[in-house]
Amino acid sequence: MPNVAVVGTQWGDEGKGKIVDLLTEYADLIVRFQGGNNAGHTLLVQNEKYILHLVPSGILYPEKLCLIGNGVVVDPQVLKNEISGLRERGIEVTPSRLRVSARAHMIMPYHKALDIAREEARGRVKIGTTGRGIGPCYEDKVGRRGIRLIDFIDRQGFMKRYLANLSEKEKYLRYVLGSDLPLEAEGERETLIELSRELAPYVSNVSVEIQKAVDSGRSVLFEGAQGTQLDIDHGTYPYVTSSNPVAGSACSGAGVGPRILDCVLGVVKAYTTRVGAGVFPTELQDETGTYLQEKGAEFGSTTGRKRRCGWQDMVVLREAARLNSLSGLAITKLDVLSGLDTIRICTGYENDEGLQEAMPPSLEELEKCRPIYEDLPGWSQPIGEARSFSELPMNAQDYLHRIEALSGVPIYLISVGPSREQTITERNPFDSDSTT
Ligand code: IMP
């Protein structure tokens, strides 16, 4: 049975949650492989809204196994709260349905304090992080002083590591960042120990679990978080997150080899959004931008910040196609474009050196790039009821055909509203003829 990765092609918030939720029906295992609770996957199921930050979106289907891979950074308090929040709403979340890699790194309270203090210290050149401690936790992982879930549940070993880190970070916070933010609240250690007890039953060897499932013919859905342009290596550095949202990281972040992936589905919003700071070549700072922001309810599902909005950018999408080996696209929020007279697509960038085919790695060069636009006629009618491609207005069909032609990637799914039903399926990524 095919294994599929779903990844974001832009700056995150493409609507991956809905697409993963939709495809979960065809998978047996759903695996998160990077990021942490900086992500916020919004799902609308039977008129009930769920926002998941850590638990894979597959949890809303009763019989699926959800795994959090080694590449994810886990805030134990957030995980515990998310589990209890889901249980209160009648969703079964037990260790038979949710497991976490023993190798996943834990976000400690001092990571959050450092994230916030660093942003403060950056003054006017803030990254605009979510403040969830993601970057500092990945730093400790790479610096080989992190605390993995397996270390967290070993009480004595944990305290030793925790205290050593705390003492180092206290000095850094005070003397380098000049911050007097408390690194540790009263009773924090007891809370952490209690959390480690509660999370112990969820510990697993995710890599082995996936291999066993695949060997017995089961299908895996790898759920990406954030988006390609936020990738620490390939995104608009330094205005990026601290993990690799590209598809290749499904392998290192879950503990599988690259041959396991049969299909990579890139989720792309019908326009572009970005939260936080950083270059955004097709950003609209006019009434059309406000229209998209308001009509698309473009607020961050983790921080509630307003998202910046702009036109569809084919340089960004072609980057995503190359960096992720995209097999197909899932276009989301097409309905938000209804009512615009003209829709613009950025087909390339130009700067003083001429046409830029790819995203320049230099931020300064990228900032000098001007988008080259192609204008297409819009459509006025609402499209939320369309259930097949032919039911879409001709101008919407033309817009989608143009995206396919300019990106070189076929469209598999089109989302015309937030609910599961509001989807047009051109090709199911789990059908064997959809895989590449
Ligand atoms: P961090 O991941 O909290 O360190 O934030 C780094 C940058 O990535 C900031 O610009 C955030 O707004 C952005 N970011 C992180 N996670 C997401 C996400 O899930 N969606 C959109 N942007 C994100």
Structure token digits, residue 187 = 């009773």
Domain 105-201's class? mainly alpha
The stretch 203-220 carries a mean pLDDT of 97
Active-site annotation, residues: 13, 41
Kindly report the pTM of this predicted structure: 0.96
- Ligand 1 centre from 327 Cα, in Å? 25
Q: Indicate whether 378 pLDDT > 90.
A: yes
pLDDT digit string, tens, across residues 86-141: 999 999 999 999 999 999 999 999 999 999 999 999 988 899 999 999 999 999 99
Does the pLDDT at position 436 exceed 60?
no
Can you tell me the mean pLDDT for 296-310?
91
Q: What is the mean pLDDT of the chain?
A: 95
The pLDDT value recorded for residue 434 is: 65
Q: What is the pLDDT of residue 123?
A: 87
Q: pLDDT band at residue 57, thresholds of 50, 70 and 90?
A: confident
Distance separating alpha carbons of residues 70 and 208, to the nearest angstrom: 12
Average pLDDT over residues 253-269: 97
The number of the ligand 1 atom at minimal distance from the alpha carbon of 38 is: 16
- Does the CB atom of residue 129 touch ligand 1 within 6 A? yes
- The domain made up of 4-102+205-434 has a fold known as Adenylosuccinate Synthetase; Chain A, domain 1 (3.40.440)
Task: Answer yes or no: are the C-beta atoms of 377 and 341 closer than 8 Å.
Answer: yes
Q: Do domains 4-102+205-434 and 105-201 have the same CATH topology?
A: no
Query: What is the domain partition of the chain in residue ranges?
Result: 4-102+205-434, 105-201
* 309 — pLDDT class (breaks 50, 70, 90): very high
221 lines ligand 1 (CB under 6 A): no
132 lines ligand 1 (CB under 6 A): yes
pLDDT of 163 strictly over 90: yes
Q: Is 275 in the pocket of ligand 1 (CB under 6 A)?
A: yes
Across the range 285-301, mean pLDDT stands at 95
- The span from the CA of 81 to the CA of 54, in Å, is 10
Per-residue pLDDT, 44: 83
pLDDT at 205 exceeding the cut of 70: yes
**Residue with CA closest to ligand 1 atom 1:** 129
In the chain, the percentage of residues whose pLDDT exceeds 90 is: 90
pLDDT, one tens digit per residue, over 323-361 is 999 999 999 999 999 999 999 999 999 998 899 888 999
Residue pLDDT, tens place only, 6-39: 999 999 999 999 999 999 999 999 999 999 999 9
Q: Which burial class, exposed, middle or buried, applies to 216 when counting CB atoms under 10 A from its CB (0-12, 13-18, 19+)? A: exposed
CA of 246 to the centre of ligand 1 (A): 14
For the chain, the residue count is 436
Ligand 1 atom 10, closest CA:
276
Ligand 1 centroid from CA 9, angstroms: 14
Compute the average pLDDT of residues 260-274. Answer: 98
Q: Say whether pLDDT at 435 is over 70.
A: no
